Amino acid sequence: MAQKAYVRATKPALIVGIIAIAAFLLFGIIFFFFLMKEDAGVGMIFMVFWIFVVMLIGGVLIYNLVNYGKNVERNVAEEIVVPDVTRVQETIKTVDDFADGLRKLESLRREGIISEEEFKKKRAEIMERKW
């Protein structure tokens, strides 16, 4: 049965992200005031959008940092499905058995233990198997 896992940033990564977001927010505010002095309408609209997006990202980071040790499912994290290890191991074993069978067959042909016709026939059988 597949299990669920939640991938999220570590505490140090969240702190670094918050610091970076603070720098982007400061940049946006300062640049907004420069654009306001120049009466650049389009630039001011862009900076309002910039500040809004930066604050949104910062809010998510702060929310995750404050609720870090609490219920993981409620944190903003990516949910992934962890595959069943036994199923993956069976698939790997099947592929390994398939490859080993072809290698052994090739070795028998090279050593002259089986003929070319026997090699082709057995190889066709191996290739028809599910792998």
The pLDDT tens digits of the residues spanning 70-96 come to 766 665 566 677 666 666 566 666 666
Over residues 43-76, the pLDDT tens digits come to 999 999 999 999 999 999 998 888 887 766 665 5
Q: Are 28 and 50 a contacting pair, CB within 8 Å?
A: yes
- Is the pLDDT at 19 greater than 60? The verdict is yes
For 73, phi then psi, to 5°, come to: -65, -25
Domain segments of the chain: what residues? 3-82, 85-128
Highest mean pLDDT among 10-19, 100-109, 117-126: 10-19
Helices in 1-131 by DSSP H: which ranges?
Answer: 11-38, 41-66, 85-110, 116-128
Name 125's bridge partners: none
Q: 63 is written with which tokens?
A: 């929310």
Q: 15 is written with which tokens?
A: 């702190």
Predicted pLDDT at 30: 94
Compute the average pLDDT of residues 106-126. 87
Nearest to 27 by CA among 58, 61, 5, 2: 58
Predicted pLDDT at 65: 87
